Structure 1
Amino acid sequence: MTSLSQPIDYAALQQRTWKKPEPITPEPTLHVWNSLTRTKQPFVPERARHVTWYNCGPTVYDASHMGHARNYVTQDVIRRIMRDYLGYDIQFVMNITDIDDKIIVRARQAYLLQQFKAQHPVLSKVLLDTVQAAWRAFFAKTLAKFAPPAPPHESEADPEDAERARHGEAGWEALVLLETDPVWRDKAAQEEPKFAMQFRTLQASRDAQIAAAMALGAASHTAGEAHALIDASADVLMAHLDATLGHTVNDPAVFRELAAYWEGAFFGDMERLHVERPTTLTRVSEYVPEIVQFIERILANGYAYADDASPESKNVWFDTHAFDGSPAETPGDAHHYAKLAPWSKGNRALLEEGEGTLSSTRGKRHAADFALWKRAKPGEPFWDSPWGPGRPGWHIECSVMASEVLGKKVDIHSGGVDLIFPHHDNELAQSEAFHGEAQWINYFLHTGHLHIEGLKMSKSLKNFISIDEALERFTARQLRLAFLMQPWHAKMDFRESAMGEVRSVEATFNNFFAGTTALHRDHGASFSDGQHHYGTTEKQLAAQLTDTQVQFRAAMCDNFDTSRGVSVLLQLVSRANVYERATPRAALNVPLLVSIAEYVARMLRMFGLGEGSVAPGQLSWGTAQAETVQGSEEVALPYLRVLSSFRDAIRQLARANAPHATLLSLADKLRDVDLTELGVALEDQEDGKAMLKFVPKEQILAQRAEKERMVAEKAERKAQAAAQAREKRAALLEKGRVAPGDMFRAPHVHNFGAWDAQGIPTADDKGEALAKKRRKNLEKEYERQCKLHAEYLAAKDAGEIK
């Protein structure tokens, strides 16, 4: 032994060699589905942990719909995962398109209709004549081509009169023919997707015109009559007024007012869906000078040209032929047009749609060329430029605003899948022509289409759902959860049946949080026996938590697989529930359950599924009533404990003495009705002591309604089965009415000629003996009839039948 007084040779003492750990599970790296390659690619931002992201915002001319909800909620979820879970710093830029053909047309039409209404305060012949002219024009443009042939006596009339009647002045007769001829109507509906909407528009206006014509015979008229006619004919009037007077609308405020209104409505919808605001918001109208400079540089680089469409102002077109295949600034790289969708390069329908309804192709050299600057036309807003008064093309806005804020390289560009071509392909081309880069965007994230009950969303198909309408039927959490449970880049079918699954998932998480909160609250009083409660089952559950955390991270890094992420969280909750139910309350490891609840709640809130704040000590993903519920806990908890204990005693008395069953019923009423109104749920346990949970009243009522619905459905199925059984028995009894000895004789059958003593046939109606096999089959039928007849006689004796 070494003496303590001897000196220690510190130089001779060395630490052992440290071995670098080898991970059991490697750290997953983020891979994203990149539309530029149509494969999953490792995500590598230009600057470490910093992500530049440009998201195509809405064109603000109408109410936002479920397609918008799916797109912007999805982008919000991905943004939250990258920032709050994976630890990236994100600069998120989104634009507002407030200069666009759709905005111009809609603003003009709304303005002209408002003016028209003010000019016609009361019903008059002039007003009715104008509406009729608008109706004829609308009919001629939409449904006239589908009208059935005129009746024979009309077709013999003068050909010019017949043609005029078919396409104009007598269009009502043609509409009546469409109303009364389902064959022609169905044929038209198959050829024209908007047929039903146009048909209803014409019907509503026609009926209002008839009512107005009858009212004109009265001595005086009111504003209500005039407004009723105008409102019912709004769609036909707006098209007519815009065609005749649209060129007179010159006030820029008209167009800005409409865009500002719908922009506010859009962000109101986003707030209700819990979509976070962008880091930077840009509007096209605020970037026109930068857009002009951007176009000038593209012209200088040789990738655009100005036409000679008008001496006063010109269009500027992007030259796709000059760009495609030209060398980029980076040595060895070349520019390519339509990198996202090269197969759509010659798709004229998509190209024309991308240019807008007010665009002209005059002066364009090649079919794929697209407008960078549109010359001014009457009835459109305009700005000064080197090419005369005009306005920006649609595609140029995003290139300019993204470049101005984020620079010549952008990590992520996102939007709906419908924007791939031509919008995003055109963005890429003009931006790379400006910067000289061969790859302006590194990753394109395109959200998949949203269909409703298997069909593309459309007003004409009556399956168009606005965000406002959706939020009347479902909560923001339920909608977000529905999107999370589908691959973000795949087509999604929004079905009512699928929302039942969403509600079930929501209820599973809610019940788990409420139950664990109750255990956590009662832990100090009920679980203080000093045992650590960490045996085999607890170790298995703790391992399940670790495995879930590993699987969840792998799912998030695998192209933001939120569907798999939600699934593994549900599996963990299921395992925790199994453990809680199978373990005596005194032996429960409550801290382990609490840690699971905290983790699950944290991941769900990370997805943006939290609603409202979460009060301290509450295990929850948050509810709109979280603070109110917490307040009620502090005030009511002592009283609720007394009520709960009272109820437990009442139940024990009722079970010990059967006549006191009414007390049991009273206790159930306390549980199912009285405490529900206080937002309290009681769950009966095997030990006779109820678990007390604070749950929002609405949730309890929804669960009760679902339970009642299931009970009602079960009762209905039982009633239907009983009715079917009665019908079946009645049919059998009616069949048994015939005595066995008569069943093979007239008037029941006529194809036998001889019978034995029992009445079973021995020969057919020609006198030929029956084959042995047929005879055996008839004997079996005879035996069955004997039983049926016996049942019939018994039912008759019992008075069941007459």
Structure 2
Amino acid sequence: MNVSRNSCNLRFCSKVFTSFTIAGKKKGVTYNRFSNHYYSSKTPKVSEWIEPSGNRTGIYIYNSLTKQKNELVLPRGNHLSWYICGPTVYDSSHIGHASNYVRYDIIRRVFLDFFNINVSYLMGVTDIDDKIIVRANELGQDFTAITNHYEREFFQEMLALNILQPTMTSRVSDYVPEIIAFVQKIMEKGHGYVGKDGSVYFDVVEYGNYYKFASPQQLFKSDVEVKKNPADFALWKAAKPGEPFWDSPWGPGRPGWHIECSAMASRVFGSTIDLHSGGLDLMFPHHENEIAQSCSYHGVKQWANYWLHTGFLFTPQESEKMSKSLKNTISTSSLLSKYTSNQFRMFCMLTHYRNNIEFTEEKMQKAISLDNKIGSFLRQCDAYVKGQVVGGDISEAETMNMLAENYERVMGHLKDDFHTPLAMDAIFNLISVLNQKFKESDTVCRCPGVIAAVEVHVKRICKKLGFLKKGWKMSEDSDNMKLREVLDHTVRFRYNVRQYSIKTKLPESVTASLPAGMEKKIRKELFTPLLQQCDSLRTQLKNCYINIQDLKTSSTWDFDDSKDMREDSDWDSDSSGTPMDKQTTQETQSSEHGTSKEPISKEIMHDTQCGKTEEFEREMSTESPSIHDTQNRDYKISEEPTGRHTHDGQTTESEKLEQSLNVEDTCRKDTEKVDSKVLKEATESVSKRTTS
């Protein structure tokens, strides 16, 4: 049920509202005759929040259920179960989505890396929805083609923002049997009924324990002709012509929007979830309805213990939130064509996650300036430690005390409802104090050891909060070191095959009896397929953003950073204090992971899992078999044809063969030995086909 955007001002309720009893309906329904909306005037008894028992973490979260900060208590030791409402995949993501998921990524990293809490992070993806069906009909495509494309694109863009992969991803289309069983149980308890339109609805009044987030005077769109009560919401929608459907006890249909998240989260986590989150716009009616139907199904008074909601992102020209349905969006790909993921993450961190964010060029420039300030400071620290900076009145005892106090301040702010603006303010205060000391001319009191400690402290904080720096993850992640080794072996093998195909000559015993020009035809017949496979491998690796460069004496590989280059974040410097190489316009999980750095393309939907975070790999190892991770989905991937390809001006292997065939044979003695019997048979076969 949609909340009326022009919710009537209740100051005029004496003139606007008329109370009456609808025939055949329950009493206590009030009608707004101007907006044609109903609302319930009955106030049901709402149960109090139940604090869980278990591990008291000392972290205080603003709980939307209680509308105050509550200490996070985990019933299962150090494990946190977290469900987050994911995208409805009918269009490209926009910066409103980006800000939402970056903010939750920061909170997730705080749990993982600052407080060592094991997080099971389940994201629900809506791939059955009215908007998806409309979009599919507009384009004349099957709805799964639409959802596959935009889901792939969404996860690519989340990787580009350096957002950790979900531990698990659940899609509505994979959970229809569970959803049907979920609805059946609710109906058995008397909290559901079949409406006049054939759809199944949740009976809010019969259930009673409603209005966790909304007021009982909340307005509802009028469709009482098919429902018992205005606030009742669809659990199962009857099929309409031209829509996808599934068979059910109530006839063909599809899941309602709200039931999807409840069924998927319950299938994974059971009757209790530690944390549930989403945007502020989902609080009502979506999360309100989730609570009602989940508590009804499980027979519990409290389903999710804590609820988090992020504020909206909007532009100065728009007073409402950024939304695809409102057509006031800026795409994520456009954002990343102008700014780096570090810069946008800094922008998000400067506003508390519960507050709305105004997206302006001025605020982005502030974020860029602060990002650069960190880089400048780290280079200064590095130069000081190496003795390249002569001045600096640094007191070891004073600086160590300041460092300890800074750490406590940062941790304290993060414990207090993840207050990143104050945490970053503490870091920048430390930087400002030490920058001032670097300017002082006293060369007697030098303490490079303590400055090295400060440098490590700032770097670790930035890394834990999700800021990218080249070289960190690859050097510290054993799985990625294995990836490098695998790529080394793969490229070396390809090089050997290539050299064998180009340089191998036929034995003189075979070529002596051949007509002029036949040797070239035989060699081309034998070795062109091998060289085409070398071309194909190079193309496939390029699609994973791994470039192969063929040199005279070897072949090398590197991760693609050749397109849309920009200056990297200033603090992203190497050990010598010099700026790192330029970084692409679209940041990824890490440059070493081999993920895309090119602008996301709708036409080329490559596997988003070319690069995965250590966290995602670790958590996926314990995944339930019923959960579908983002790798196990089948996608239509356009394949490049084998044969001649040119990549960045490189000559293909088959072209090189043609060139080599036109060069005089001057290196017979250095060629590798080949089985003459096999070559002779191949020669005879080619000769027969040529003669015929």
Same-fold call, TM cutoff 0.5: yes
Aligned counterpart, 2:130: 101
Partner Cα distance (1:471, 1:604) in 2:
20
Partner Cα distance (2:339, 2:423) in 1:
22
SS in 2 for 1:472: helix
Counterpart selection for 1:605 from 450, 454, 463: 463
Aligned counterpart, 2:184: 296
Check whether the contact 2:394–2:446 (CA below 8 A) recurs between aligned residues: no
Distance 1:33 1:537, change over 3 A: same
Aligned counterpart, 2:211: 338
Tell me which protein shows more helix as a share of its residues.
Answer: 1
Check whether the contact 2:179–2:255 (CA below 8 A) recurs between aligned residues: yes
Partner Cα distance (1:454, 1:254) in 2:
36
Distance 1:107 1:591, change over 3 A: same
Q: Shift in Å at residue 31 of structure 1?
A: 0.3
1:444 aligned to 2:307?
Answer: yes
Aligned counterpart, 1:704: none
Aligned counterpart, 1:191: none
Structure 1 letter corresponding to 2:187: L
Q: Shift in Å at residue 303 of structure 1?
A: 0.5
Check whether the contact 1:28–1:557 (CA below 8 A) recurs between aligned residues: no
Aligned counterpart, 1:561: 419
Structure 1 letter corresponding to 2:401: A
Aligned counterpart, 2:272: 409
1:575 aligned to 2:444?
Answer: no
Gaps of 5+ in 2: 1-55, 477-565, 584-692
Distance 1:536 1:74, change over 3 A: closer
Gaps of 5+ in 1: 1-26, 112-252, 325-335, 353-359, 528-532, 619-676, 682-690, 700-802
Which one has the largest radius of gyration? 1
Correspondence 1:73-112 to 2 at 5 A: 73-111=102-140
1:51 aligned to 2:51?
Answer: no
Distance 1:263 1:518, change over 3 A: same
Structure 2 letter corresponding to 1:44: V
Correspondence 1:274-673 to 2 at 5 A: 274-309=162-197, 314-324=198-208, 336-343=209-216, 346-349=218-221, 362-453=225-316, 455=318, 456=320, 457=322, 464-522=329-387, 537-585=395-443, 587-614=445-472
Check whether the contact 2:87–2:125 (CA below 8 A) recurs between aligned residues: yes
Tell me which protein shows more strand as a share of its residues.
Answer: 2
Check whether the contact 2:395–2:447 (CA below 8 A) recurs between aligned residues: no
Partner Cα distance (2:171, 2:378) in 1:
43
Q: Deviations over 1:496-530 (max 9, x none)?
A: 1111211111111000111222233447x989xxx
Distance 1:617 1:407, change over 3 A: closer
SS in 1 for 2:276: strand
Distance 1:57 1:44, change over 3 A: same
Partner Cα distance (2:416, 2:464) in 1:
17
Q: Shift in Å at residue 363 of structure 1?
A: 2.6
Check whether the contact 2:96–2:323 (CA below 8 A) recurs between aligned residues: no
Partner Cα distance (1:265, 1:692) in 2:
37
Q: Deviations over 1:604-661 (max 9, x none)?
A: 111101243239999xxxxxxxxxxxxxxxxxxxxxxxxxxxxxxxxxxxxxxxxxxx
Partner Cα distance (2:325, 2:240) in 1:
31
Distance 1:277 1:364, change over 3 A: same
Structure 2 letter corresponding to 1:370: F
Check whether the contact 1:526–1:586 (CA below 8 A) recurs between aligned residues: no
Q: Shift in Å at residue 441 of structure 1?
A: 0.8
Distance 1:95 1:460, change over 3 A: closer
Distance 1:678 1:363, change over 3 A: closer
Aligned counterpart, 2:604: none
Aligned counterpart, 2:146: 258
SS in 1 for 2:351: coil
Q: Shift in Å at residue 417 of structure 1?
A: 0.3
Partner Cα distance (2:180, 2:268) in 1:
16
Distance 1:462 1:378, change over 3 A: closer
Partner Cα distance (2:399, 2:101) in 1:
37
Correspondence 1:147-226 to 2 at 5 A: none
Aligned counterpart, 2:562: none
Structure 1 letter corresponding to 2:219: N
Partner Cα distance (1:458, 1:42) in 2:
33
Q: Shift in Å at residue 575 of structure 1?
A: 1.5
1:35 aligned to 2:68?
Answer: no
Aligned counterpart, 2:158: 270
Check whether the contact 1:28–1:554 (CA below 8 A) recurs between aligned residues: no
Q: Shift in Å at residue 264 of structure 1?
A: 0.6
Partner Cα distance (1:460, 1:85) in 2:
37
Distance 1:347 1:265, change over 3 A: same
Q: Shift in Å at residue 583 of structure 1?
A: 4.5
Structure 1 letter corresponding to 2:211: A
Check whether the contact 1:30–1:42 (CA below 8 A) recurs between aligned residues: yes
Partner Cα distance (1:617, 1:583) in 2:
37
Structure 1 letter corresponding to 2:402: Q
Q: Shift in Å at residue 273 of structure 1?
A: 0.4
Q: Deviations over 1:739-796 (max 9, x none)?
A: xxxxxxxxxxxxxxxxxxxxxxxxxxxxxxxxxxxxxxxxxxxxxxxxxxxxxxxxxx
Check whether the contact 1:35–1:446 (CA below 8 A) recurs between aligned residues: yes
If the length of structure 1 is used for normalisation, what is the TM-score? 0.51
Distance 1:616 1:538, change over 3 A: farther
Distance 1:44 1:583, change over 3 A: farther
Q: Which has the higher contact order (CA 8 A, sep 6+)?
A: 2
Partner Cα distance (1:50, 1:323) in 2:
32
Distance 1:340 1:460, change over 3 A: closer
Structure 2 letter corresponding to 1:346: Q
Structure 1 letter corresponding to 2:201: W
Structure 1 letter corresponding to 2:290: E
Check whether the contact 1:73–1:273 (CA below 8 A) recurs between aligned residues: yes
Check whether the contact 2:212–2:288 (CA below 8 A) recurs between aligned residues: yes
Check whether the contact 1:454–1:493 (CA below 8 A) recurs between aligned residues: no
Aligned counterpart, 1:745: none
Check whether the contact 2:211–2:288 (CA below 8 A) recurs between aligned residues: yes
Structure 2 letter corresponding to 1:102: K
Structure 1 letter corresponding to 2:117: Y
Distance 1:582 1:430, change over 3 A: same
If the length of structure 2 is used for normalisation, what is the TM-score? 0.59
Q: Shift in Å at residue 494 of structure 1?
A: 1.4
Distance 1:459 1:262, change over 3 A: closer
